[in-house]
Amino acid sequence: MRKFTILLIVSALLVLTKKAEARNLWEGNQGPKFTITSGSLHVNGSKFGQPWKINPFLTAVGGKYVTKHLFHKVYTFDDLGIHVYEYPKREEANEIQVSFIRQNLKFAPKTNFNGVFKIEKTPITRKTSIQKVIKSLPVYNFTKGLKGNFYRGEYKGVYVYLNYSDNSFKFLDFISFGMSGKVK
């Protein structure tokens, strides 16, 4: 009986340890935390309704950034794996991109995104398949793009592009999201 009790205790400790490790991997992440919920954007705990004013947004993201002036002003957070486009003359974030891979763009971040990204309550990672996204987020009505390996969804004035490595749609390269201007 004693051996059974010890075995039971050890098994319970192993299960609890694995759950704690999984939670720590999620919560202990040092990168930025983005959550899109019902038309609002949450960045590291700060809530942004529409429009997303650029200066408070950049402050909420935290970290150092480099500014490049193209058609849009682009703020690149090299250490965080994201870049932000600003509408010309409006001081609003137009689109945000989180990159899971190194891209060949002059303004691309030097490192990959290592933060947390959620749409509603669904975590999105490099390994989130489009099938899981469609099943978890039907209100976004994700549809395949005509060219390329991406899907686009939209809900309550926020659009999301999920750009995949290939047509298996299993590995995300980057996520782009912004305000569509249409609140449904």
21: left (phi over 0), alpha (psi -120 to 50) or beta: alpha
Q: What does the angle CA 151 – CA 54 – CA 184 come to, to the nearest 5 degrees?
A: 45
Q: Where are the alpha helices (DSSP H) in the chain?
A: 2-27, 54-61, 130-136
Global pTM reads 0.79
Amino acid at 174: F
Neighbours of 116 (CB within 10 A): 18
Rg of the Cα atoms in the chain: 19
Residue 132 has pLDDT above 50, yes or no: yes
Grade residue 1 by pLDDT with cuts at 50, 70 and 90.
Answer: low
The better pLDDT of the pair 128, 49 is held by 128
Per-domain residue ranges of the chain: 31-179
